[in-house]
């Protein structure tokens, strides 16, 4: 390695130092470094580390605190009276031990601003890092970051290279993608190997948040980390040894992107706060990083609560968003999650599963499509599954693997209707609680072609319907739970809002998770839901959106649950392997009065079957002779019958109430007590007030429930009979009143 003799070995032994997170004030990180770290360059961007000059004089020099002489000098671009508008010091910092940061905020459109570059004689300009390297940045993504800032470079290296994938960028580049991932590209020290793919990090989801970014190369694998979350798209190659140092210009640049094409050099400025950058020799262990526990800065993330229903009679629809990265890079994660769904179908009361598109990452890759066949385990296990393509899924490949003639098509032919012109828009109908539910998937590629078919399907207005399509929503660039309709979503909504039975739309495509309420042409609410975790840890870590329907509470609970994480032991878990994601957009309680919203709509086979059972029980009860049973037990039966009859004529009755009523009536029948034999002329103590009962010829009266004849009406002046009748009527009336109150207050558990 060059320049070893010139380098000062920086030994960082900050034992027992605790740094308090200024965001929460409660989390702390340990800065204790267990081993010696060979720091090549370290820049702390605060006013206490100025080597010389100033921003006001356009000649600021930031000191290399490693002592190796790799200072950074300020460069200015364009014509500005005061460059402090584009670069300035700030007290903002990731943790208390730091002394501040510098804000870079250049005018990229007009190319006015400033950045930094290593001084001409800096030893690092010739460094090749033949023993590997670790690049760390402590950086805050601005709260007003937009897609126009996409591909801004946080750190780059000057020079020309034959093997750089995008040589216009220089010989090394750390950039922020349009999805806020870190993209790392570099040429190796010999300029002899072209990376066939960048090393990509997970997404920096939120703006206005500090991130610790680490890029670690052990000369075998380039790994990227964002706040401790390792990427699922590391670059693996034994050829990526070191970094190329162009002998003509190997300087490092901070705060701008260059694109050498024609006369163009400066492309755009980076934006955000820089607290610190450190470049070290070798692949550092996490314990040697600047921030040894960066997960503490993630904020609210999730919990490991066991899966459970909010009510034992609730039921779930499960949605699988943008599975492409997990299918490509972490097949075992998705495979494990699907097995959990199958094993816990009854526990979770899962009535259906629907994919939201982007099944695979590369639409013509047979290996990925074959990986995706694991989804067929669901219909093979008796779980209704609806698949649809996204923009990554080439139509001809989708047709081959999940079309009507595929294995999936054969497994689902009894319940998936795919008669659309494209054959890719389809729907299924499932029973859940009191209702039948339609899930309608509109093909991403064929909206115009399939539109008339979609409207024909939606003309069946008596089935509560969820509409899904791959691209329905966008989310804010820096607030992934802040969603709105996308352009394609607006097209779908303009159709959907005309059909009152549609109560939810759900899509993927845009990395984020949230929900909003839309109002249809009938003045009713429609829930608009986005679920997409494709750039998160493990490509989403098999995070599925569970929609749990609670008819008793009049709610739909939207939760984000990872069946994969739920299978891990504590020793196997990382910080990011949580059962439930929490926080904005990851859990919601949607209010919906099922009885009102779905009034007159088609009931499920479940409730119809239970109503038939209830009708049979009523008939059985009415055939019983009350004279054979004690007054108390038969009176309880009469009350149960009256309640049951009221339910049988209620068109909007709740399935759970039907089940309860069946149970109550069956219990009343089972608990009837037969009157014991007594002497013929003794008082009947089972009658109110010990009233006497005259012997009647067989068949002279019918004492079954609900069938008293006129002969059994009380005679005028017969106070005991009148009292008995009044008590019976009041008991029955009380049962009906109690029942109606129960119906009117259906949201009460």
pLDDT band at 96 (very low <50, low <70, confident <90, very high): very high
Q: What is the CB neighbour count within 10 angstroms for residue 250? A: 22
pLDDT digit string, tens, across residues 573-616 = 999 999 999 989 999 999 999 999 999 999 999 999 999 999 99
Closest C-alpha to 384, from 445, 316, 325: 316
Q: Are 650 and 743 in contact (CB under 8 A)?
A: yes
Q: Which residues contact 299 (CB under 8 A, 6 or more apart)?
A: 23, 24, 209, 583
Mean pLDDT of 530-536: 94
Q: How, if at all, do strands 435-442 and 465-469 pair?
A: parallel
Token reading at 179: 């999805």
Alpha-carbon span 317 to 433, nearest angstrom:
12
Sign of CA dihedral 124, 128, 133, 134: positive
Counting beta carbons within 10 angstroms of the beta carbon of residue 50, is it exposed (0 to 12), middle (13 to 18) or buried (19 or more)?
A: middle
Measured distance CA(521)–CA(376) in Å, rounded? 38
pLDDT for 251-305, tens place per residue? 999 999 988 866 668 999 999 999 999 999 999 999 999 999 999 999 889 999 9
Tokens of 416: 């998936």
Give the mean model confidence (pLDDT) for residues 161-185.
Answer: 94
Question: To which residue do tokens 């995070």 refer?
Answer: 543
Name residue 75's beta-bridge partners.
115
CB-count exposure of residue 749 (10 Å: 0-12, 13-18, 19+): exposed
Q: What is the pLDDT at residue 245?
A: 98
Closest Cα partner for 621 from 742, 732, 712? Answer: 732
Does residue 23 contact residue 210 with C-beta atoms inside 8 Å?
A: yes
CB 560 within 8 A of CB 548: no
pLDDT at 3 over 60: no
Can you tell me the mean pLDDT for 700-710? 48
List Cβ<8 Å contacts ≥24 apart for 58-62.
58/83, 58/114, 61/119, 62/116
Taking Cα atoms as reference points, which of 258, 61, 283, 45 lies closest to residue 167? 258
pLDDT of residue 714 exceeding 60: no
List domains and CATH numbers for the chain.
18-287 (2.60.120.200), 315-597 (3.60.21.10), 605-691+704-744 (no CATH)
Given this model, what pLDDT does residue 1 score? Answer: 38
Residue 723 φ then ψ, to 5°: -60, -40
Is residue 679 classed exposed, middle or buried when 0-12, 13-18 and 19+ CB atoms within 10 A define those classes? exposed
Q: What are phi and psi of 177, to 5 degrees?
A: -75, 175
- pLDDT, greater one: 8 or 669: 669
Which string of DSSP letters, residue by residue, matches 649-695? Answer: T-TT--HHHHHHHHHHHHHHHHT--BPPP--TTS--TTSGGG-----
| Global confidence as pTM | 0.81
CA dihedral 186, 190, 191, 194 (to 10 degrees): -70
Write out pLDDT tens, residues 630-669.
999 999 999 999 999 999 998 888 888 999 999 999 999 9
Instruction: Report pLDDT for 35.
Output: 52
- pLDDT at site 300: 85
What are 297-337's pLDDT values in tens digits?
A: 998 899 999 999 999 999 999 999 999 999 999 999 999 99
| Of residues 138, 196, 179, 157, the one with CA closest to residue 21 | 138
CA–CA separation, 638 vs 627, rounded Å?
13
Closest CA to 478 of 180, 726, 733, 745: 180
Q: Is the pLDDT of residue 22 over 70?
A: no
Question: Does 389 have pLDDT greater than 90?
Answer: yes
617 membership: H or E segment, kind and range: helix 605-622
Contacts of 441 (CB under 8 A, 6+ apart): 354, 386, 387, 388, 425, 426, 427, 468, 469
Measured between alpha carbons, how far is 562 from 556 in angstroms, rounded to an integer? 19
Q: What is the pLDDT of residue 332?
A: 97
**pLDDT at residue 677, as a whole number:** 59
**If you average pLDDT over residues 505-527, what whole number do you get?**
96
- Lowest mean pLDDT: which of 206-210, 432-436, 736-740? 736-740
Are the C-beta atoms of 657 and 647 separated by less than 8 Å?
yes
Question: Count of alpha carbons within 13 Å of 349, Cβ hemisphere only?
Answer: 16
Tokens standing for residue 54 = 């100033």
Do 406 and 400 contact (CB within 8 A), yes or no?
yes
pLDDT tens by residue, 130-143: 999 999 999 999 99
What pLDDT shows up at residue 262?
Answer: 64
**163-199 burial, b for 16+ CB within 10 Å, e for fewer?**
bbeebebbbbbbbbbebbbbbbbbbbbebebebeebb
Residue 629 DSSP class: B
Helix residue ranges, H only, 182-257: none
């Amino acid at each position: 390695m060059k320049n070893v003799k010139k380098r000062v070995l920086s030994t960082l032994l900050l034992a027992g130092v605790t740094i308090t997170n200024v965001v929460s004030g409660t989390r702390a990180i340990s800065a204790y470094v267990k081993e010696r770290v060979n720091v090549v360059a370290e820049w702390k961007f605060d006013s206490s580390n100025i080597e010389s000059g100033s921003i006001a004089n356009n000649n600021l020099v930031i000191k290399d605190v490693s002592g190796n002489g790799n200072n950074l000098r300020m460069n200015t671009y364009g014509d500005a009276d005061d460059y402090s508008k584009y670069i300035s010091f700030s007290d903002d910092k990731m943790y208390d031990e730091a002394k501040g940061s510098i804000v870079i905020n250049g005018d990229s459109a007009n190319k006015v601003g400033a950045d930094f570059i290593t001084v001409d004689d800096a030893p690092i300009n010739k460094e090749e890092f033949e023993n590997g390297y670790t690049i760390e940045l402590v950086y805050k993504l601005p709260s007003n970051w937009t897609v126009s800032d996409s591909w801004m470079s946080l750190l780059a290296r000057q020079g020309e290279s034959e093997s750089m994938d995008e040589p216009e960028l220089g010989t090394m580049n750390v950039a922020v993608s349009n999805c806020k991932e870190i993209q790392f590209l570099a040429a190796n020290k010999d300029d002899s190997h072209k990376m066939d793919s960048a090393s990509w990090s997970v997404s920096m989801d939120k703006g206005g948040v500090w991130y610790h970014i680490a890029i670690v190369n052990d000369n075998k694998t380039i790994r990227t980390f964002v706040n401790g979350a390792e990427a699922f798209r590391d670059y693996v190659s034994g050829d990526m040894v070191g970094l190329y140092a162009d002998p003509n210009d190997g300087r490092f640049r901070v705060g701008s992107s260059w694109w050498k094409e024609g006369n163009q050099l400066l492309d755009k400025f980076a934006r955000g706060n820089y607290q610190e950058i450190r470049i070290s020799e070798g692949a550092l262990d996490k314990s040697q990083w600047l921030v040894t526990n960066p997960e503490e800065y993630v904020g609210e993330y999730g919990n490991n609560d066991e899966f459970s229903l909010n009510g034992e009679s609730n039921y779930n629809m499960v949605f699988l968003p943008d599975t492409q990265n997990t299918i490509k890079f972490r097949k075992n994660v998705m495979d494990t999650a699907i097995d959990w769904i199958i094993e816990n179908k009854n526990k979770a009361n899962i009535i259906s599963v629907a994919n939201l598109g982007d099944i695979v990452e590369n639409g013509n890759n047979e290996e990925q499509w074959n990986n995706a066949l694991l989804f067929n385990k669901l219909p093979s296990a008796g779980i209704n599954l609806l698949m649809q393509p996204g923009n990554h899924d080439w139509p001809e490949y989708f047709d081959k693997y999940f079309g009507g003639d595929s294995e999936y098509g054969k497994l689902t032919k009894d319940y998936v209707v795919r008669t659309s012109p494209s054959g890719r828009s389809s729907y299924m109908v499932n029973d859940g609680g009191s209702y039948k539910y339609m899930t309608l998937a509109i093909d991403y590629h064929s909206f115009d072609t399939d539109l008339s078919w979609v409207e024909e399907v939606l003309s069946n207005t008596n089935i509560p319907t969820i509409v899904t399509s791959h691209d329905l929503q966008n989310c804010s660039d820096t607030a992934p739970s802040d969603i709105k309709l996308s352009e394609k979503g607006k097209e779908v909504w303009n159709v959907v809002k005309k059909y009152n039975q549609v109560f939810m739309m759900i899509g993927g495509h845009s990395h984020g998770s949230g929900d909003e309420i839309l109002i249809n042409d009938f003045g009713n609410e429609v829930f608009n839901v986005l679920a997409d975790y494709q750039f998160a840890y493990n490509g989403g870590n098999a995070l599925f959106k569970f929609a749990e329907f609670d008819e008793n509470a009049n709610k739909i609970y939207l939760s984000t649950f990872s069946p994969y994480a739920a299978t891990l032991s504590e020793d196997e878990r990382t910080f990011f392997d949580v059962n439930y994601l929490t926080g904005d957009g990851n859990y919601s309680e949607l209010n919906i009065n099922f009885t009102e919203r779905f009034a007159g709509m088609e009931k499920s086979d479940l409730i119809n079957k239970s109503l038939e059972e209830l009708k049979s029980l009523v008939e059985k009860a009415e055939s019983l002779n009350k004279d054979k049973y004690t007054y108390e037990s038969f009176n309880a039966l009469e009350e149960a019958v009256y309640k049951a009859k009221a339910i049988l004529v209620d068109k909007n009755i709740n399935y759970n109430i039907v089940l309860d009523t069946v149970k109550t009536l069956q219990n009343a029948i089972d608990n009837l007590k037969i009157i014991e034999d007594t002497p013929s002329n003794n008082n009947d103590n089972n009658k109110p007030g010990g009233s006497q009962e005259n012997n009647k010829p067989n068949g002279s009266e019918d004492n079954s429930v609900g069938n008293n004849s006129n002969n059994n009406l009380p005679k005028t002046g017969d106070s005991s009979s009148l009292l008995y009748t009044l008590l019976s009527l009041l008991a029955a009336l009380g049962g009906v009143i109690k029942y109606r109150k129960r119906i009117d207050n259906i949201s009460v558990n």
